[in-house]
Amino acid sequence: MISHEFTNFHIHIHIKIIREFVVKKITQMKKLIIAAGTGFLGQVLINHFKNEFEEIIILTRGNSKTDDGIKYVNWNAKTFTGWEKELENAAVLINLAGKSVDCRYTKENKKEILLSRIESTKILNKAVLNCKNPSKHWLNSSTATIYRFSLDKQMDETDGEIGNDFSINVALSWEKAFFKTETPKTLKTALRTSIVLGKNGGAFIPLKTLAKIGFGGKQGKGNQFVSWIHEEDFARAIDFIIEKEMTGVINVVSPKPIRNVDFMQKLRKAVGFPFGIPVNKFLLEIGSFFIRTEAELVLKSRNVIPKRLLENGFEFKFGDIDETFRNLIP
């Protein structure tokens, strides 16, 4: 017969192990670091996670300060200047750093687009390795543009075909810099994100404006696919990835890519404008020159689906574009 002392001893040990595990989990949810988190996507993540973490720290090129409970710490995304100390004991690190691709692809801009992604990722790798207790999970931005132009095949993480152009080569170099350095104590996930549709920022604002003034027709041939995701599902997907400890590359897109002609028609309907003047490739090229951007941003067919998210049980709140527009347009 087992003695009470023996049983109580094992119960005590079991409780101690559980307590240590729970304490460890709680400790790991104390701090969230968002590198380059002052833009549209950073604010989306702050709004989503502000009640899930005791502390949120934003690494920014701006001044160090504390505003509305959020701590902002200056960094240059290239060298150690003191910001790296903030990574100690962080639960999660999310890196959004990188010059916007919404610009003309001049030689100088191309160089900055690439280096801003590579250098920030490399210095974060060094910072994580230098930590005694680094973040448990690091999620790094990537892009759904990494896949080739596709009008037929839907691209997932397993069978998706990688293309070969400037944007794609930037994405490949970015992911290579991210995964090349092994971080034994930190999980790594590359977020191949599509266009994020939101109320207060991103690409949706100019698209909505165009539709309201009569220029909401198809762009180019209109047969190219648009991969998209609602801002709320973007944040929920990242939350899900962290919870499930998913690693590797993940497509952060809605399950229903839509052709440009249909996207614009539904957008016109949502804003209540009866027609939309189509904009052919020639006019897009001219317009892009004057607003200092590239026509490829709307002409490339991004036919991407979120296979891994769906296989792991993620449920989209806004999987339908009509429902998304109704939510985003008052």
What percent of the chain stands above pLDDT 90?
79
CB 162 within 8 A of CB 211: no
Inter-residue contact 41 to 196 (CB < 8 Å): yes
pLDDT at 105: 79
Q: How high is the pLDDT of residue 225?
A: 97
pLDDT tens readout for residues 10-61 = 444 444 443 444 344 434 469 999 999 999 999 999 999 999 999 999 999 9
Question: So what's the pLDDT on residue 185?
Answer: 97
Task: Judge whether 294 lies within some domain.
Answer: no
Number of domains in the chain: 1
Residue 5 confidence (pLDDT):
46
The CATH number of residue 20's host domain is 3.40.50.720
Mean pLDDT of 203-212: 90
pLDDT for 264:
95
Does residue 22 lie in a domain region? yes
Q: What is the C-alpha separation between 165 and 170, in angstroms, rounded?
A: 9
Contacts 24+ apart (CB under 8 A), 206-209: 207/267, 208/267, 208/271, 208/329
Q: Is the pLDDT of residue 291 over 50?
A: no
Residue 185 included in any domain: yes
AA letter at 301: S
Residue 4, pLDDT above cutoff 50:
no
- The per-residue pLDDT for 286 is 58
Positive or negative: CA dihedral 107, 113, 116, 119: negative
Average pLDDT rounded to a whole number, residues 250-255: 98
Cβ-contact 122, 63 below 8 angstroms: no
Residue 113 in any domain: the answer is yes
Cα–Cα distance for residue pair 213/54, rounded to 1 Å: 44
In contact, 128 and 84? CB cutoff 8 Å: no
Residue 111 within a domain: yes
Instruction: Assess if residue 259 is contained within a domain.
Output: no
What pLDDT was estimated at residue 284? Answer: 64
Q: Are strands 228-230 and 195-197 parallel, antiparallel or unpaired?
A: parallel
100 lies in which domain range?
8-198+228-254+304-317
Instruction: Give 11's DSSP letter.
Output: H
Q: What is the per-residue pLDDT for 16?
A: 45
Which run of H or of E encompasses 41?
Answer: helix 40-49
pLDDT of residue 299: 77
Considering the domain boundaries, does residue 281 fall inside one?
A: no
Predicted confidence at residue 220, as pLDDT, reads 92
Range 106-133 average pLDDT: 96
Query: For the chain, what is the mean pLDDT?
Result: 89
